[in-house]
C-alpha cells in the first residue's frame, strides 16, 4: 500500500524507501560514529561547554527526527503489504477448507474461525 492509495509509490515513498535502505547499511553507522569522533575535538575550539554540547545535540536531534518520520513511512507500508499477503493466504485457505468440508464436516468450524479472525483484523484496521 502506498501513500497515495493507488498502488504507485509517491516521490516521498521512494525517498523514504531509499533512505531506509541507506540507514540500514553499515556505512550509515560508520558515518554517525565519524560525526561524533569529529565533534569531540571541537571541545578545544568552542568557547563554552554549552556551545559544544549544543552543536552535537542539535545535529543528532534533527537527524533522529527526520529519520523517524521516514522510517515510520517505510515500516507502515511494509506492515500493510505483509497484512495483505496474510489475508490473501487466509482467504485461499478458507476457500480450500470449504472445498474439503464436504468430506470433512469438522472443517466448517475451523473455516468459520479463520473467517472470523480475518474479519476481526479487517474491522480493527479500518
pLDDT single digits (tens) 2-37 = 555 557 889 999 999 999 999 999 999 999 999 889
Return d(Cα 77, Cα 15) in angstroms, integer. 13
Supply the pTM of this predicted model. Answer: 0.63
Task: Take residue 28 and report the three cell numbers written for it.
Answer: 550509515
Q: Is residue 81 part of a domain?
A: yes
Q: Is residue 3 part of a domain?
A: no
Q: Is residue 6 part of a domain?
A: no
List the one residue out of 26, 34, 83 whose CA is nearest residue 59.
34
Number of compact structural domains in the chain: 1
Q: Is residue 60 part of a domain?
A: yes
Lowest model confidence (mean pLDDT) among 6-20, 25-39, 44-58, 84-98: 44-58
Q: Which residues span the domain enclosing 19?
A: 11-125
Of the two residues 103 and 120, the one the predictor is more confident about is 103
Q: Half-sphere exposure of 124 toward its Cβ, with a 13 Å CA cutoff?
A: 7
Q: Is residue 5 part of a domain?
A: no
15-32 per-residue burial string, b: 16 or more CB within 10 A, e: under 16: ebbebbeebeeeeeeeee
Mean pLDDT confidence for 38-61: 85
Q: Is residue 59 part of a domain?
A: yes
Please give the mean pLDDT across all residues of the chain: 85
DSSP per position, 73-97: HHHHHHHHHHHHHHHHHHHHHHHHH
Q: Is residue 107 part of a domain?
A: yes
Q: Is residue 121 part of a domain?
A: yes
Task: Take residue 64 and report the three cell numbers written for it.
Answer: 533522529
In this structure, how many other beta carbons lie within 10 angstroms of the beta carbon of residue 56?
15
Inform me whether the pLDDT recorded for 123 exceeds 60: no
Amino acid at each position: 500500500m502506498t501513500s497515495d492509495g493507488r498502488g504507485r509509490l509517491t516521490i516521498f515513498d521512494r525517498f523514504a524507501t531509499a533512505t531506509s535502505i541507506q540507514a540500514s547499511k553499515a556505512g550509515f553507522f560508520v558515518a554517525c560514529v565519524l560525526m561524533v569522533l569529529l565533534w569531540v575535538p571541537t571541545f578545544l575550539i568552542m568557547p563554552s561547554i554549552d556551545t559544544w554540547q549544543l552543536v552535537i545535540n542539535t545535529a543528532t536531534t534533527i537527524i533522529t527526527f527526520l529519520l523517524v518520520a521516514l522510517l515510520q513511512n517505510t515500516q507502515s507500508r511494509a506492515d500493510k503489504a505483509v497484512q495483505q499477503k496474510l489475508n490473501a493466504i487466509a482467504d485461499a485457505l478458507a476457500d480450500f477448507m470449504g472445498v474439503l468440508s464436504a468430506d470433512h464436516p469438522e472443517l466448517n468450524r475451523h473455516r468459520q474461525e479463520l473467517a472470523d479472525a480475518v474479519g476481526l483484523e479487517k474491522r480493527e484496521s479500518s
